[in-house]
Amino acid sequence: MILARDIKGNIWTEGRDQDAVALDFLELEWFDTERRVIRGFTVQGREIGFKNLSEDSLFDGDILFETAELRIVVRILPCPCLVVRPKNRMDMARICLEIGNKHIPVFINAAHEIIAAYENPLWEQLQRAGFTPTQESRVIERTHTLRIHQYAVVQNKITLAKEI
* pLDDT the model gives residue 157: 59
Select from 76, 93, 128 the last residue of a domain.
76
Instruction: Please report the pLDDT score of residue 118 as a whole number.
Output: 92
Q: Which amino acid is at 120?
A: N
Please tell me the predicted confidence (pLDDT) of residue 156.
59
- Count H helices and E strands in the chain, helices first: 2, 10
56 and 134, same domain (yes or no): no
Q: Specify the CATH number for the domain of residue 154.
A: 3.30.70.790
Residue 38: name the closest of 69, 67, 75 by CA: 75
Of 76, 94, 111, the domain-final residue = 76
Q: Are residues 147 and 102 in the same domain?
A: yes
Per-residue pLDDT of the chain (164 residues; tens, 9 = 90+): 889 888 888 888 876 655 668 899 999 998 888 888 999 999 999 999 999 888 788 888 999 999 888 999 999 999 999 999 999 999 999 998 888 888 888 888 888 899 999 999 999 999 999 999 999 999 887 644 444 455 455 565 555 556 55
Angle at 6 between CA 142 and CA 67, to 5 degrees: 115
**Same domain flag for 70 and 93:** no
Same domain, 68 and 91: no
83 in the same domain as 69: no
Buried b (16+ CB within 10 A) or exposed e, 108-142: beeeebbbbbbeeebeebbeeeebebeeeebebbb
Predicted model pTM: 0.74
pLDDT the model gives residue 144: 42
Residues 71 and 147 in one domain: no
CA 93, CA 127: separation in Å to the nearest integer?
16
Please indicate, yes or no, whether residues 61 and 138 belong to a single structural domain of this protein: no
Q: What is the CATH number of the domain that holds 32?
A: 2.60.260.20
- The domain tally of the chain equals 2
pLDDT at 141: 77
Same domain, 66 and 118: no
Q: What's the pLDDT score for residue 145?
A: 46
Residues 132 and 99 in one domain: yes
| pLDDT score recorded for residue 143 | 45
Out of 48, 76, 104, pick the residue that ends a domain. Answer: 76
- Alpha carbon 143 to chain centroid, angstroms: 8
109 and 66 fall within a common domain:
no
Question: What's the pLDDT score for residue 59?
Answer: 87
Residue 91 sits in the same domain as residue 54: no
Q: Which domain holds residue 100?
A: 78-164
CA distances to 21, 72, 146, 161 from 24, in Å:
10, 5, 31, 57
Side chain identity, residue 27:
E
Predicted local distance difference test score (pLDDT) of residue 84: 94
DSSP 97: H
Contacts of 149 (CB under 8 A, 6+ apart): none
- Burial tier of 66 (Cβ tally within 10 Å: 0-12, 13-18, 19+): middle
